Amino acid sequence: MKKVIFLFIIIIFSLIALYWYKPVTIDYFFGITRILNQENNYELEVNNKKYKNCVFKSTESFDKKRKHNFLILYLRDLNLKSKFEIIVVNLDEKVVGYFCGSVNCYDKVFGYLFQSDMGSFYIPLEDNAKGPGFDTKLKLEGKKIDFYIPSERNERLHIQLSKK
């Protein structure tokens, strides 16, 4: 009986530690977070420097009725000089946006990207009313996606996605 109680206490403390360290993972069990699939068919380049394991795909909204075709670029770990750490490329509407909510709405755990229900919303970078009004110069040509995002020093970061 002592082993069962000890195991139960260990599980409870592990869940509390996991929630404290990565809160979005616990939300997954309540259905308000989902895991996005890594998109291995695209290579990411930022200012001609290649990065791996940063492109994810989202095809279903949380209400399960709407289908969409989004690429999510998780740039938080890349140490880029930009305040936009999560970039959304809506391939259906041909628009580039950014996520503007809490930093806890997206988190990468063991190579998986967790997205909360609020993380599924984005604001187009070109929107003058809600967004920065930044011209991304988005080009979708065959197997290439090419656009810019603003950096912290009023420069542009050149983003290129190439399909393998």
User: pLDDT: is 78 or 96 the higher one?
Assistant: 96
Cα–Cα distance measured from residue 125 to residue 122, given in angstroms and rounded to the nearest whole number: 9
Task: Check residue 65 and give its pLDDT.
Answer: 61
pLDDT (tens digit per residue) in 35-93: 888 888 889 999 889 998 889 988 766 556 666 788 999 988 887 878 888 899 998 89
The DSSP annotation for 124-158 comes to ETT-TTTS-------EEETTEEEEEEE-TTS-EEE
Average pLDDT in the 80-108 region? Answer: 84
pLDDT (tens digit per residue) in 2-46: 888 888 889 888 878 877 777 777 777 777 788 888 888 889 999
pLDDT at residue 1 tops 70: yes
